[in-house]
Structure 1
Amino acid sequence: MAISVVVFDAFGTLVQIGERRSPYRKLMQWMRANGRRPQTSDAGRIMSQPGGLADVANLFDLSPPVDLLAAWEAELHAELATVKLFPDSLPTIARLRNAGYRIGLCSNLAAPYGTPVKALLPSLDAYAWSYEAGAVKPEPGIYRYLLDRLGCAASDVLFIGDTPAADLDGPLTFGMSARLIDRKAGQTLDKVLDDM
């Protein structure tokens, strides 16, 4: 079947953070310093629940000092204020829409990051946020969630992102087509989509 839907990852693909403050990393460092051993599943647990920083601390049964939590919240809001689109994101989406493709977004992220991304990309055909799907890429649950929102088959989708396991291997295993973009090397969306 021919591709009729193009799905993008968010950060590193369509959007970027202008000024990183890494409040979630600071929370995790505090948790480690206060006796919680990091687990490989920690990032997935954080990104598959709908809350913010305080909810993450509660998820791990820890209570940071109120002043520290407030400082991390301030850093989070400052970081979110710097979220912006790559210059080619909107023109590429417009070109694909004009060619008849539907557009989706599928992203692993902590819940607070979804709001600025959706504000920058308000009218896509479907959004699959890890914190709403309850699963993170490359887990099949998030791709199933995406397809349910799009109402299409996996074979209808071309997935584009910047992380091999989440945006290439996961979608391919699930039956989608997939391509990687390397923004750090200066690659643009036009280059990734040049044969469509």
Structure 2
Amino acid sequence: MLKPKIDPTKIRAVAFDVYGTLVDIQNDTEMFDVLRAVFGEHGRNLTFEDRDAMMRQPLELRDLPDFLGVQVPTEAIGRLEQQLATEVASIAPFKDATETLSRLRKAGYRVALCSNLSLSYAPPILELFDGLADVFIWSFEVGAVKPEPEIYRKLCEKLGCEAHEVLMVGDSLKSDHAGPRKAGLHGFHLLRSGEPVVPETFRSLTEVADWLTGPQVQQPLQGQRPD
């Protein structure tokens, strides 16, 4: 771990990205690429702006043709839904995820999960981390995607914390490091392998918990975790 240049005793809450950070899709079928191929066959070339727009709305897969203004046969949508169900069923937590969230909550930190995702990807996360997070911030609920400032503002608002009291951790430099820092939070990059490109880098979720709960840190909320 590269030594973070902030005082851990000033942190009151820790927010985690979800996909690629807390969980892995073991049967990742690259659904957006699949959607692009299918919708492209029917005259609608999806862009990354379309992808973000879809994640700002609580849409089921069957809602997408009307939302995007394209006619797609019911049979094609059915096949897409089957593929999506297979992908969602393969979601599994990284081995250090559950323990890290548990350690942080026991130490008195408020814990949040903050993710850009579509409606179908939220239920398995709620089930996997039930009782381990105080706040869930989904892009489709707040109408904003990382790294847009509004999603971090909503995060802090629901946590009941000032931006400088919140640590954000995730595997995206753009969404979990640069975006939060621009919004006044402490953004840290989770890089499980490879060479770090920013000083604010953790190698594992365990390192996050070790840094915030180690003997050198006097947790400001120890035994006083707010409800």
Output the TM-score relative to the length of structure 2: 0.81
Residue 72 of structure 1 aligns with an amino acid whose one-letter code is L
Please tell me whether the aligned partners of residues 164 and 184 of structure 2 are also in contact (alpha carbons under 8 angstroms): yes
Asked whether 1:191 is paired with 2:207, we answer yes
| 1:26 equivalent in structure 2 | 34
Displacement of 1:25 after TM fit?
Answer: 2.5
Displacement of 1:75 after TM fit?
Answer: 0.8
Aligned counterpart for 1:82 among listed residues 75, 85, 90: 90
| 1:51 equivalent in structure 2 | 59
Please tell me whether the aligned partners of residues 116 and 138 of structure 2 are also in contact (alpha carbons under 8 angstroms): yes
1:183 is paired with a residue whose SS is coil
| 2:163 equivalent in structure 1 | 154
Aligned counterpart for 2:77 among listed residues 60, 66, 69: 69
- How far does the alpha carbon of each residue in 1:74-121 deviate from its partner, in whole angstroms, 9 at most, with x for none? 111111111111010011111111221110010001110001011101
Displacement of 1:122 after TM fit?
Answer: 1.4
Query: Partners of 1:81 and 1:60 in 2: how far apart?
Result: 26
Residue 207 of structure 2 aligns with an amino acid whose one-letter code is K
Query: Partners of 1:183 and 1:54 in 2: how far apart?
Result: 35
**Following superposition of structure 1 onto structure 2, how do residues 128-143 of structure 1 map, counting pairs within 5 Å?**
128-143=137-152
Query: Partners of 2:31 and 2:66 in 1: how far apart?
Result: 16
Gap runs ≥5 in structure 2: 1-8, 195-201, 213-227
- How far does the alpha carbon of each residue in 1:48-69 deviate from its partner, in whole angstroms, 9 at most, with x for none? 1101112122211112111111
| 2:120 equivalent in structure 1 | 112
2:211 is paired with a residue whose SS is coil
Asked whether 1:174 is paired with 2:190, we answer no
1:41 is paired with a residue whose SS is helix
Query: Partners of 1:17 and 1:164 in 2: how far apart?
Result: 20
Asked whether 1:92 is paired with 2:100, we answer yes
Q: Which has the larger radius of gyration?
A: 2
Query: Partners of 1:44 and 1:23 in 2: how far apart?
Result: 14
Q: Quickly say closer, same or farther: Cα 1:150–1:192, change in 2 above 3 A.
A: closer
Residue 58 of structure 2 aligns with an amino acid whose one-letter code is P
Tell me whether 22-31 or 145-154 shows the greater mean CA deviation. 22-31
1:62 is paired with a residue whose SS is coil
Residue 89 of structure 1 aligns with an amino acid whose one-letter code is A
- How far does the alpha carbon of each residue in 1:141-184 deviate from its partner, in whole angstroms, 9 at most, with x for none? 11122122111111110000000111111100110011111235
Please tell me whether the aligned partners of residues 135 and 141 of structure 1 are also in contact (alpha carbons under 8 angstroms): yes
Q: Percent identity?
A: 37
Query: Partners of 1:56 and 1:143 in 2: how far apart?
Result: 26
Displacement of 1:194 after TM fit?
Answer: 4.2
